[in-house]
Structure 1
């Protein structure tokens, strides 16, 4: 398939429920949970429990309607604000927040946290803690100067962005431009955590093939430094298995802080 015919996550119809089922469910027939779930969760837990990243406000700007990364964060931030570019992603996430019938089940992720934190009773409360802390789910537009105009957000202590820059950036200039807009949402000295795929060009959701930005570890590091960040941690994991649904070669986890 010609890459010029790939759909765009933020411009074309994107089925967030089907995406969750394909990449973040407990279904072994799709992408390995080692890459999409275990690697991010282990690194998030380690990063937050070290105690350097915490505060009042966490802003999440992530792909689709995933929430598994917020389980690790909810003990360290009082307020969570989630930004989405797609209405369907917002509706799917709110279905889980409001505990509606048919919401996507994240019980397998609770178990993964339990395997890591060894405190399953505490983790059973985490879904409630995330729901309580998640005060706003807002639509944003990254082509605007203020991406949630006319709302003005409080400066964030931390931003988490999982796989979002991969799918919204048409080229490397876009990646740097959007990263600059992330930076404006942070307090001086605030932290950013990026999770993404390296050497990727596409991913599929059902019968549809979507664009993803091809970049490597060196580019991700330099993009952060170029926007005034100091990289504190960078972990790269080679792809666990191969299938035709997505063509990445590795997963990257980067934690950095904004220079004062």
Structure 2
């Protein structure tokens, strides 16, 4: 299949439950779990425990209906506001937030977070704490000047973004443009935590292949510097998983802060 025929995440949409089942369920391919579950949970826990990233408001702008990357964050922020470009992803996330019948089961990820952090909280207490920290899930539109118009969000102390730019951008110009819009949501001195797949060209959900913007570490470093960010830490893990679902070469976590004016 030619890349030009791949579907687009925020244009065509996908089955958000199937996406979770493919990549982050306890039944997902074990080889992928090392990168999709263990890498973000482990490294975000280490980043937050350092204590330099905390505050009142954290914005989450991530693909799909992921929540596993937010377990560590809820210990350091009063409010987590989640932004989504898809009503379907919002519905999937709200099933979990409202503990509805049929909601995706994140217990395996919760247990992993507790084990990594050595946290004595019970699993249900950890999930309850995260649910309580998310007061709002907001629809956003990347093409609007204010992505959440007509809602005006408070400036964030931190923004977490998991693979969002990877799946929404067509090219380098898109990446810079969307990164600039994301930066406007962040306070001067605030932190941007990016989790990304490097050198990816596609990912699969169900029977459909979806477009991914292909870039490397050097590009994202230059993009961040160009938009006024200073990188405090960068971790890159080479892919070891063998799977036809997705073709990235490495996963990366960047902790960068926005320069004060």
TM-score, normalised relative to structure 1: 0.98
Looking at structure 1, the residues matched to 143 and 221 of structure 2 have their Cα atoms a distance apart, in angstroms, of 24
> Conserved in 2, the CA contact under 8 Å of 1:200 and 1:247?
yes
> Conserved in 2, the CA contact under 8 Å of 1:23 and 1:30?
no
Q: Secondary structure at the match of 1:32?
A: helix
Q: What residue is the counterpart of 1:238 in the other structure?
A: 238
Q: Secondary structure at the match of 2:88?
A: helix
Structure 1 stretches lacking a partner, 5+ long: none
Looking at structure 2, the residues matched to 45 and 122 of structure 1 have their Cα atoms a distance apart, in angstroms, of 17
Looking at structure 2, the residues matched to 50 and 178 of structure 1 have their Cα atoms a distance apart, in angstroms, of 29
Looking at structure 1, the residues matched to 171 and 250 of structure 2 have their Cα atoms a distance apart, in angstroms, of 19
> Conserved in 1, the CA contact under 8 Å of 2:23 and 2:29?
no
Q: What residue is the counterpart of 1:32 in the other structure?
A: 32
Residue 30 of structure 1 deviates from its aligned partner by 6.4
- Following superposition of structure 1 onto structure 2, how do residues 1-260 of structure 1 map, counting pairs within 5 Å? 1-29=1-29, 32-260=32-260
Structure 2 stretches lacking a partner, 5+ long: none
Residue 63 of structure 1 deviates from its aligned partner by 0.5
> Conserved in 2, the CA contact under 8 Å of 1:22 and 1:30?
no
User: Which stretch of structure 1 is more off in the superposition, 120-129 or 247-256?
Assistant: 120-129
Looking at structure 1, the residues matched to 23 and 72 of structure 2 have their Cα atoms a distance apart, in angstroms, of 19
> Conserved in 1, the CA contact under 8 Å of 2:21 and 2:28?
no
Residue 124 of structure 1 deviates from its aligned partner by 3.5
Looking at structure 1, the residues matched to 13 and 216 of structure 2 have their Cα atoms a distance apart, in angstroms, of 28
> Conserved in 2, the CA contact under 8 Å of 1:191 and 1:255?
yes
> Conserved in 2, the CA contact under 8 Å of 1:74 and 1:126?
no
Looking at structure 2, the residues matched to 51 and 122 of structure 1 have their Cα atoms a distance apart, in angstroms, of 23
> Conserved in 2, the CA contact under 8 Å of 1:10 and 1:168?
yes
TM-score, normalised relative to structure 2: 0.97
Residue 55 of structure 1 deviates from its aligned partner by 0.1
> Conserved in 1, the CA contact under 8 Å of 2:156 and 2:185?
yes
User: Which stretch of structure 1 is more off in the superposition, 122-131 or 231-240?
Assistant: 122-131
Looking at structure 1, the residues matched to 3 and 84 of structure 2 have their Cα atoms a distance apart, in angstroms, of 25
How many pairs were matched up?
Answer: 260
Looking at structure 1, the residues matched to 185 and 206 of structure 2 have their Cα atoms a distance apart, in angstroms, of 34
Judging changes above 3 Å, is the alpha-carbon distance between structure 1 residues 207 and 77 closer, same or farther for their aligned structure 2 residues? same
Residue 123 of structure 1 deviates from its aligned partner by 4.6
Q: Secondary structure at the match of 1:209?
A: strand
Query: What is the RMSD computed on CA atoms of the aligned residues?
Result: 1.1
> Conserved in 2, the CA contact under 8 Å of 1:239 and 1:250?
yes
